[in-house]
Amino acid sequence: MTDISGLPETVEELRVRPPEGFTLSERVISPVILIDKIGRNIVARLAGVRVQGGNRIIHLAPGNGHAWVLDGTTIRPLPRDAARLFAEMLNGLDPDNMPYSEAIRLMRNTDTAIGVEPSESFLKAGRVAAENLDDNFAVPGLTAVLFPYQARGVRWMWETICHTGGLILADEMGLGKTLQIIALLLIEPPQTEAPALIVCPTSLIANWVREFARFAAGISVKVHRGPDRAGVYRGLQKTSVVITTYDTMVNDISIFSSFEWSWVICDEAQAIKNPDSNRRQAIVTIPRRRAIPMTGTPVENGLLDLWSLADFAIPGLLGSRHDFEVAYPDNIDSAQAIGRFTDPLILRRRVADVASDLPERINIDVPLELDDLLAEHYLQVRKQTLAKYPVAGALVATLQLQLVCAHPWLRRADENDTHGEDAEIVRARAYPLMTQKMERATDLIREAFFNGRKVIVFSLFNRIGDLLIDAFSGFRDVHWGAINGSTPQDRRQPIIDAFAAHDGPACLVLNPKAAGAGLNITAATVVIHFTPVWNPALEAQASARAHRRGQTQPVTVYRLFYKDTVEEVMIDRSLWKSELANESVPISSRDATDLRRALEIAPRKI
């Protein structure tokens, strides 16, 4: 092959010294700037476009200063000023290492002297690009076996963020976004001088701490909130990962913005979708090398949601907010136009997309923490109940504490009631509707609705359904149904049929004691146990309403429980009993050991 590296840059010089074996075409072809990825760099290359047989063929110039391209043995000239215009359009940017946002800016700008377009692979959607990756991807220090789709997801995130500095993780609920982020951090563990910052709702703090302990024990983690907050930024540079809440981040923004973090990761990133919110305005001031918003609902209200997330992940990606709103009104055409630039940054997979990788049933425990107000209420209820019922105190107190954990507004209608199923709602201004458990439940339900999935919520206390409906006030077109012990047998199947037939978001609230044999609710693929039960057989039977013959999709089962409360004892003992129980050794629903521990365990103030 002839060496062309020494050939002149201009066509005029080529005419003076024509290379041997090459033909110089007299026809000038249109120039184009081609954006591509080489290694970890984003590059811009001067090229020319020729149409042959209805197909556009792009030929690269030997260099960005050359005003010609090579097509086999034919040299095809570009306009004389192509190299100068190329340099002017890049405006000082390094063509061998361009920021992703600048490359997208060039592609979005249609009023340019030279057209700009991506290579075939540059704007491939995240889901498609990840699917084509090898899932043989080991992460040192990760004590978990990733599903193939998770391994591909971690690999895609790493390769993408090395090019871009940011991305959006939008996998559907139940697919393990938290585990994928932990695996990603382990690839290049953050150092203490530039730790990773994870910002999340209060209800997810305990889960993040638990998941790091389970899957990445080698990474040091510090929770920054309440009395454990650092007073100066140096106090944060003593660990690999700092976890905080959105509200704490806003209150302590002067500390968080005092140095550059290696990562800033936002869980439940719908919290920063509103550009006018204090949370959004604060978090974008935090210096960061890499950023990932995590949300299963990337666009809920309008395209401005996507601008807010994308601009946090990669500042300037879609231009200023004003320019974005002018250029992209809320319609399908705008969504498609924006998607061309944002799809390569979004990893968005549904359970149905990766169903072959998943088990039939995904079990997810969701630990929560009582806030200081409810922790104090919990301890006060325990003390008062034991004082009032010295003989039957243990049984009554555990029920009372279960009611507190379900919701502080629940009260037994009758002092002789030892089950609490018909506990009434007594609205108390001292305690909010949105507890940590209500917040997490509504987040899970809202995301399920967003993804077109139906939900079953199990609760031992029948009025929880009313509280969930209150929490969803203003959410349109939702079908709510309920079945409990007082629901007549001949009414139960019609309620299930209406739930299954509803064309839209639907939630069925069931008392697990009423979810006996005969109920088939395979329209639901998300199950939420709002309150634990002492008897694992009862819980298993309840979950089997959705996960049974006839179900064609994986079912995700969530168990919500408060740490350091009676609910944690119930979860621990149900696991133990589930392992021991068999047909010949029946296990009672609870025993003296359970009751003693349930009354000794105490929530800690946060």
For the whole model, what pTM was predicted?
0.85
Residues 557-568, mean pLDDT to the nearest whole number: 93
Distance CA 577, CA 505 (A): 35
Greatest mean pLDDT among 6-20, 328-342, 381-395 lies in 328-342
> What's residue 74's pLDDT?
87
Pick the CATH number of 362-366+431-600 from 3.30.420.40, 3.40.1530.20, 3.40.50.300, 3.90.950.10: 3.40.50.300
In the numeric block, the tokens 């004082």 are attached to 387
Residues 196-205, mean pLDDT to the nearest whole number: 94
> What's residue 606's pLDDT?
55
The domain spans of the chain are 11-118, 126-356, 362-366+431-600
Least confident residue range of 5-9, 40-44, 522-526, 596-600 = 5-9
Task: Tell me the CA distances in angstroms from 582 to 116, 363, 576, 591, 596, one per residue in order.
Answer: 68, 21, 12, 18, 25
> What's residue 518's pLDDT?
56
φ, ψ of residue 32 in degrees (nearest 5): -150, 150
Tens-digit pLDDT profile for residues 6-29: 677 777 777 777 777 788 888 899
Percent of the chain exceeding pLDDT 90 equals 54
Asked whether residue 360 carries a pLDDT value surpassing 50, the answer given is: yes
Distance CA 274, CA 489 (A): 46
> Residue 592: how many CB atoms within 10 A of its CB?
8
Give SS3 for 343.
Answer: helix
Rg from Cα positions in the chain: 29
Asked whether residue 208 carries a pLDDT value surpassing 90, the answer given is: yes
> What's residue 583's pLDDT?
34
Buried b (16+ CB within 10 A) or exposed e, 79-91: beebbebbeebbe
Q: What angle do CA 423, 429, 435 make, to 5 degrees?
A: 65
> What's residue 6's pLDDT?
64
Question: Crossing angle, helix 303-313 and helix 332-342, to 10 degrees?
Answer: 20
Instruction: Report residue 588's pLDDT band, with 50, 70 and 90 as the boundaries.
Output: very low
Residue type, 601: I
Distance CA 544, CA 521 (A): 9
> What's residue 601's pLDDT?
81
Identical fold, 126-356 and 362-366+431-600: yes
Q: What angle do CA 79, 83, 84 make, to 5 degrees?
A: 100
- Check residues 35 and 55 and name the one with the higher pLDDT: 35
- Cβ neighbors of 197 (< 8 A, separation 6 or more) are 241, 242, 244, 256, 261, 263, 264, 265, 286, 288
Q: Please give the mean pLDDT across all residues of the chain.
A: 87
Instruction: Report residue 519's pLDDT band, with 50, 70 and 90 as the boundaries.
Output: low
Asked whether residue 34 carries a pLDDT value surpassing 90, the answer given is: yes
Tens-digit pLDDT profile for residues 211-251: 999 999 999 999 999 887 888 888 899 999 999 999 999 99
- Cβ neighbors of 360 (< 8 A, separation 6 or more) are 547, 551, 554, 555
Tens-digit pLDDT profile for residues 455-466: 999 999 999 999
Domain 126-356 has CATH 3.40.50.10810: yes
Asked whether residue 181 carries a pLDDT value surpassing 70, the answer given is: yes
Task: Annotate 572-606 with DSSP letters as a single string.
Answer: HHHHHHHHH--SSS---S--HHHHHHHHH--PPP-
- How many Cα atoms occupy the beta-carbon half-sphere of 41 within 13 Å? 10
Task: Annotate 541-564 with DSSP letters as a single string.
Answer: HHHTTTSSTT--S-EEEEEEEETT
